[in-house]
């Protein structure tokens, strides 16, 4: 019977038309059903498998492989550097970093000032050890910038919640650094403010152009640049690129609140630029910190775990 029907031209044509329509409808349904998944794959094209075949029926597998690639790339780069006999960067404790610069007494005083302003740098973290060492090494500070003022608006990523006051770390640095020009920058325009010796600016760390705008907004070179903003690798890298242009020779760039999961990324960064600058990965309460002293200079005597 089926062989007989196949000999009728009209039925053969109708069968082909229905098959094409079904495939079109089914394909459209799949594209709609997997639309968000396909968008995510396209956004992460850097990590997606470059398949020569079709995605149809493989959307979930390709998304899973894309996310796995993003997760594994930097640990594998670090593994590769080890096979090439590059030493893996060490991590030092904030207290050891401070002792290496002979800044223990300064750390106590800085903590007192930070605590008085209710700053999480000393209350939630122990970054006062790090900053006491950096500021002692600088000797005097004419101009500094901190990105991330600590917004309390919960519709902004990396907000501080309602229990903190935006800009208090700038006020603490203003007290600790008499005469210094204090600058701050944030994505949330609602919390920008101006006070005596404090000026704040808008910045979007995911847009390198807005960081470059700070070059003209802040005349002169920076002694110290702090990144306490978005806390994402791309945002941190953009700030690091800006900082290497804006910070003076011998000045410091500090990137706070690095998650343990991001350490392979930062160790890779150290391997890339450690030969040109004194770089450190520092273990502190509640996170890790990347610190860089600009210029091809040796690390300070007594500080271990550095890469130069």
pLDDT attached to residue 121:
95
Tens digit of each residue's pLDDT (9 = 90 or more) over 153-180 = 888 777 777 777 889 999 999 999 999 9
Q: Residue 249 in 3-state DSSP? A: strand
**pLDDT at residue 135 in the model:** 97
Higher-confidence residue of 280 and 82: namely 280
In the beta sheet, which residues pair with residue 227? 147, 255
Query: What are the sequence ranges of the domains in the chain?
Result: 2-71, 91-307
SS3 call for 205: coil
Tens-place pLDDT, residues 88-105: 899 999 999 999 999 999
CA 110 → CA 123, 136, 164, 176, 229, distances in Å?
Answer: 12, 11, 19, 7, 21
Q: What is the pLDDT of residues 20-47, one digit of tens each?
A: 666 666 566 665 655 677 777 787 788 8
- The confidence score (pLDDT) of residue 17 equals 65
Q: Which residue has the higher pLDDT, 126 or 13?
A: 126
pLDDT value, residue 174:
97
| Ramachandran quadrant class, 286 (left: phi over 0; alpha: psi -120 to 50; beta: rest) | left
**Which residues touch 110 (CB under 8 Å, ≥6 apart)?**
122, 128, 131, 132, 135, 176
Question: In the prediction, which pLDDT does 195 show?
Answer: 96
Q: pTM higher than 0.75 for the full model?
A: yes
| Assigned CATH for 91-307 | 3.40.50.150
Residue 6 confidence (pLDDT): 57
pLDDT band of 15, cuts 50, 70, 90: low
């Amino acid at each position: 019977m089926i062989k007989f029907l196949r000999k009728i031209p009209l039925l053969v044509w109708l069968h082909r038309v229905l098959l094409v329509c079904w495939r079109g409808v089914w394909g459209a349904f799949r594209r709609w059903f997997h639309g968000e998944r396909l968008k995510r794959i396209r956004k992460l094209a850097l990590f997606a498998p470059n398949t020569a075949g079709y995605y149809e029926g493989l959307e979930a597998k390709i998304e899973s492989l894309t996310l796995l690639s993003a997760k594994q790339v930097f640990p594998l780069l670090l593994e590769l550097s080890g096979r090439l006999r590059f030493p893996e960067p060490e991590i030092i404790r904030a207290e050891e970093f401070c002792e290496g610069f002979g800044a223990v007494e300064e750390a106590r005083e800085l903590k007192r000032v930070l605590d008085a302003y209710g700053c999480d740098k000393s209350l939630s973290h122990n970054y006062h050890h790090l900053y006491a060492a950096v500021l002692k090494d600088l000797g005097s500070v004419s101009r500094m910038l901190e990105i991330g003022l600590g917004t309390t608006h919960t519709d902004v990523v990396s907000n501080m919640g309602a229990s903190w006051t935006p800009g208090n770390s700038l006020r603490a640095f203003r007290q600790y650094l008499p005469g210094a020009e204090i600058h701050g920058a944030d994505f949330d325009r609602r919390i920008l403010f101006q006070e005596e010796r404090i000026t704040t600016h808008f910045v979007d760390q995911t847009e390198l152009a807005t960081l470059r705008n700070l070059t003209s907004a802040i005349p002169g070179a920076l002694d110290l640049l702090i990144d306490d903003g978005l806390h994402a690798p791309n945002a941190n890298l953009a700030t690091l690129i800006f900082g290497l242009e804006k910070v003076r020779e011998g000045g410091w760039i500090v990137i706070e609140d690095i998650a343990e999961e991001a350490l392979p990324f930062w160790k890779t960064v150290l391997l890339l630029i450690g030969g040109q600058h004194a770089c450190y990965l520092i273990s502190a309460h509640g996170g890790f910190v990347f610190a860089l002293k600009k210029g091809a200079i040796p690390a300070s005597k007594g500080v271990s775990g550095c890469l130069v």
